[in-house]
Amino acid sequence: MLKKKPIASLSLDLDNQWSYMKTHGDDGWQSFPSYLNIVIPRVLEFLEERNIRITFFIVGQDAALGKNHAALRSLTDAGHEIGNHSFNHEPWLHLYSEDEVERELAIAEDHIEKATGKRPIGFRGPGFSLSSTVLRVLARRGYQYDASTFPTFLGPLARAYYFMTSKLSKEEMEKRKGLFGKFQEGFRPLQPYQWRLMGNLIEIPVTTMPIFKIPIHVSYLLYLGVFSQTLALWYFRLAIALCRLMRVQPSLLLHPLDFMGGEDVPELAFFPAMNQPSYKKVAMVGKVLQILAKHYAIVPMSVHAEAIAQRQAKLTSVTPHFYHGTEAV
């Protein structure tokens, strides 16, 4: 009898064109330019060919616009899970008051449910923005899991690159100073855990390379692949080997731009690897998932969360602590 594979969850943060432009400080985002009608059919076809079901974290503002409803509904029609990625997609969510967080999540939930027919039970903060306040609201609203922690030491480097290529004022940079997290994020656990004093709320971190805590999400692999696809795939194989050695069940992250090239959205040419055509990027994503599927059964995040909850008595309990200086646990 074949040994049953451990599970690995796969999710896609459905950040839209306007949300990248907004974070980058570009004009014109207020008209909410969208590429959802391009990327969603492309991703769905890719996943269907591989018989994979994943979690899509949807931005509430996109769900509020009727022009996006057909594309978003196609996600649940295809059997995929829906998660909440906030309403306004502001990576400074950790600066919100508790009332502001409550409104942000509630309005996103309502619009996401109207657009897709499903109410989210999982959350990921924009730009991995998280706070004790956000966790309290998630627990109170009955969320099963959060997926906003990104345990890597390279957050400050990613933020510096983003600022160098942006058109942000000093005031806007100050608001975004928590983008991608601080160096201390690298000390967070890779294994799932339960947030202390937050009910049964489970944290499923975005997986980084065990021991070294460097990113392995697909956008990062595509960036490495610009220099050497062979090197990028070797790097990912090493990460998966370490996950297996350390018994980490990965939670791998995708983004829309992993499936799009500069020919699709020239306005986002500043984003790493956007000088590559979409067909090359899609082929690379396929190779990455082939490596993952060799060792793990790929599932949506809700399935991963349910499996974790079944062994809840063995879960580590972690006290919420954040590094942006305004937190009370």
Nearest partner of 286 among 302, 304, 273, 298, judged by Cα: 298
Contacts 24+ apart (CB under 8 A), 107-113: 107/60, 107/64, 108/58, 108/59, 108/60, 108/63, 108/84, 109/60, 109/84, 109/141, 111/60, 111/61, 111/63, 111/64, 111/87, 112/58, 112/60, 112/63, 112/72, 112/82, 112/84
pLDDT at 315: 85
* Residue at 329 is within a domain: no
* Residue at 325 is within a domain: no
* Residue at 293 is within a domain: yes
* Residue at 255 is within a domain: yes
pLDDT at 128: 93
* Residue at 161 is within a domain: yes
Report how many domains make up the chain.
Answer: 1
pLDDT at 171: 65
Mean pLDDT split into 10-residue runs, the chain, 329 residues: 83 96 87 97 98 98 98 98 97 94 98 98 95 97 97 67 59 60 77 90 97 96 96 98 97 98 92 94 98 98 95 82 54
pLDDT at 199: 87
pLDDT at 145: 98
Give the domain CATH number at 169: 3.20.20.370
pLDDT at 206: 97
pLDDT at 182: 67
Check: CB of residue 204 under 8 Å from CB of residue 142: no
* Residue at 2 is within a domain: no
* Residue at 154 is within a domain: yes
pLDDT at 328: 40
Note down the domain range covering 292. Answer: 11-318
* Angle (deg, nearest 10), helices 69-77 and 36-50: 10
**Among all chains, which residue has been given the structure tokens 């731009």?**
257
* Residue at 324 is within a domain: no
pLDDT at 213: 95
